[in-house]
């Protein structure tokens, strides 16, 4: 089934590629969406057959036909939910820009189907070199999406910042992988985890991997590419960046740093937590001053990912599981916010400046209601998955270092401040002379938004649905079971 997850989008690409866009536009859209939905249904079946009590990787497949590459794939409790999130977000990306592009529908849909395969590959490969290849290959179609279908003339600069920032940091990771291969003789996850890397070597290798993942998270001062990329990307690009791209670093921290280099991770944890606190406070204060609502949501993503990093490096099961819950919750709510402000509002009025919007609760009441639900979830209101994730992540952080835990808790207040500020400025206030008549949320947009928001609250009420599958894999990271 894992092989099918990787191949179904590629089959869709081969089906769409020969078609003429002028004559078969509707068919191109339908074929692409059907392939993405089949992948989502297949991942649900995978979830149903997953054994949460097993320690080893499941659904393992190994292909040794290539001499230069050991293609080894499998799934555990951690990667399962990232695969589910990928197959869930991809159809939403395809529907998000269903009929509002000016050109190039065929290659636009091909780019997103290709990114689905590459993202699933990142989460299921059990070989470090393949992990690096898939991780970097995702940048190419995203670079094209931002650069070709972006919102303004500055899209070219934004796409190059996205590509060069992340690629430059990954060169250090490639060097670290080559050193591991030279010393261990393999890049297979199982063999690396069984090998005994001495402490001094762990520290050097850890820094190489951390720099790459810090850029992809992103942490201050490597964050400048993200707001620019979000601001210029088309709606589907912003959804994919927020929903999935920012999860690559989360997965990398768990799969590589905490798993293979535990001593170095414990040694550098105070440094990482200090950087995460600076990132949290800086990005939250910067969010309060944003005039562009897509940049505002992008900076809020940085602050949420800082809390995820704090939980991951708390050296506790509670903190790591909370970080994973918050990461999944962010994958629902941040795309919903981008759909609301970068899709519904921008398509209606073609400006991203907050000061032009007032009293949208009167003009667009359904939009205001959905915006309110997404906003309170983003704040981490109780009964939302964001709240469950933040509470567990901060609890784990407080257990390790109470001072860091208290400083991290200020993010709750700051998050509420910029969330309420954005909602209040757009939904209420005096009549705006700049606004004309506009339609409320369309049926297509409503289905996208309700599918994202309702999952954040249902899983917030029943978080054990996720925690039961996570617990054994997370425990195995920290203890010998």
Domain ranges of the chain: 1-476
Closest by alpha carbon to 102, among 151, 142, 141?
151
pLDDT tens-place values along the chain, 481 residues long? 888 888 888 888 888 888 887 888 888 889 999 999 999 999 999 999 998 888 888 888 887 755 556 788 889 889 999 999 999 999 999 998 888 887 888 899 999 999 999 999 999 999 898 999 999 999 899 999 988 888 778 888 888 888 888 888 888 999 999 999 888 888 888 888 888 888 888 999 999 999 999 998 889 888 888 888 888 888 888 899 988 988 999 999 999 999 889 899 999 999 999 999 999 999 989 888 888 888 888 889 999 999 999 999 998 999 999 999 999 999 999 999 999 988 888 888 888 888 888 888 888 889 999 999 999 999 989 999 999 999 999 999 998 889 999 999 888 888 888 888 889 888 887 777 777 777 888 899 999 999 999 999 999 999 999 999 899 889 988 886 4
The pLDDT of residue 67 is 56
pLDDT at res. 453: 94
In the structure encoding, which two tokens stand for residue 158, read together?
């934004």
Q: Residue 400 class from Cβ within 10 Å (0-12 exposed, 13-18 middle, 19+ buried)? A: middle
Which DSSP letter does residue 23 get?
T
Beta bridge partners, 63, equal: 71
Do residues 257 and 213 make contact, with C-beta atoms less than 8 angstroms apart? yes
Give φ, ψ of 74 to 5 degrees.
-170, 175
Residue carrying structure tokens 């990928």: 86
Paired tokens of 407: 């400083």
SS3 content of the chain, % helix, strand, coil (to 5): 75, 5, 20
What's 235's DSSP letter? H
Nearest-angstrom CA–CA distance, 414 and 416: 5
| CA distance linking residue 368 with residue 428, whole number of Å | 9
Choose among 279, 124, 236, 99: nearest CA to 189.
124
* 413: its two tokens: 């207040």
């Amino acid at each position: 089934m894992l092989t099918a997850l990787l191949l179904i989008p590629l089959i869709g690409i081969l089906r769409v590629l020969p078609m003429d866009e002028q004559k078969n536009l509707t068919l191109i859209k339908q074929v692409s969406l059907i392939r993405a939905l089949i992948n989502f249904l297949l991942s649900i079946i995978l979830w149903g057959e997953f054994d949460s009590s097993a320690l080893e990787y499941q659904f393992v497949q190994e292909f040794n036909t290539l001499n230069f590459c050991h293609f080894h794939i499998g799934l555990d409790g951690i990667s399962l939910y990232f695969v589910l999130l990928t197959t869930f977000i991809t159809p939403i990306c395809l529907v998000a820009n269903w009929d509002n592009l000016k050109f190039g529908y065929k290659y636009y849909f091909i780019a997103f189907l290709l990114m689905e395969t590459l993202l699933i590959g990142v989460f299921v490969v059990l070989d470090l070199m393949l992990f690096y290849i898939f991780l970097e290959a995702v940048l190419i179609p995203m670079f094209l999406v931002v650069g070709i279908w972006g919102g303004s003339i500055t899209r070219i600069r934004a796409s190059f910042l996205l590509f060069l920032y992340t690629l430059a940091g990954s060169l250090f990771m490639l060097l670290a992988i080559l050193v591991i291969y030279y010393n261990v003789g393999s890049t297979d996850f199982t063999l690396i985890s069984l090998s005994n890397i001495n402490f001094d070597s762990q520290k050097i290798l850890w820094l190489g991997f951390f720099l790459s993942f810090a850029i992809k998270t992103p942490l201050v001062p490597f964050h400048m590419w993200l707001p620019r990329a979000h601001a210029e990307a088309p709606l589907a690009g912003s959804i994919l960046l927020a929903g999935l791209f920012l999860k690559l670093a989360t997965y990398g921290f768990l799969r590589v740093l905490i798993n293979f280099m535990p001593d170095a991770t414990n040694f550098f944890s105070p440094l990482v937590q200090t950087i995460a606190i600076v990132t949290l406070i800086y990005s939250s204060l910067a969010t309060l001053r944003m005039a562009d609502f897509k940049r505002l949501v992008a900076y809020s993503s940085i602050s949420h990912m800082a809390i995820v990093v704090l939980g991951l490096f708390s050296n506790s099961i509670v903190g790591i599981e909370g970080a994973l819950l918050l990461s999944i919750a962010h994958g629902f709510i941040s795309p919903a916010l981008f759909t609301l402000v970068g899709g519904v509002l921008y398509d209606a009025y073609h400006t991203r400046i907050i000061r032009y919007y007032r009293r949208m609760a009167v003009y667009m009441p359904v939009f205001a209601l959905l915006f309110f639900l997404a906003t309170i979830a983003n704040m981490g209101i109780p009964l939302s998955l964001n709240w469950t994730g933040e509470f567990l992540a901060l609890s784990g952080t407080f257990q390790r270092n109470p001072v860091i835990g208290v400083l991290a808790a200020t993010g709750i207040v700051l998050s509420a401040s910029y969330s309420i500020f954005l909602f209040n400025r757009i939904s209420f206030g005096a009549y705006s002379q700049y606004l004309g008549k506009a339609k409320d949320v369309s049926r297509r947009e409503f289905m996208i938004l309700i599918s994202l928001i309702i999952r954040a609250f249902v899983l917030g009420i029943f978080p054990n649905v996720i925690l039961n599958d996570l617990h054994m894999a997370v425990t195995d990271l920290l203890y010998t079971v």
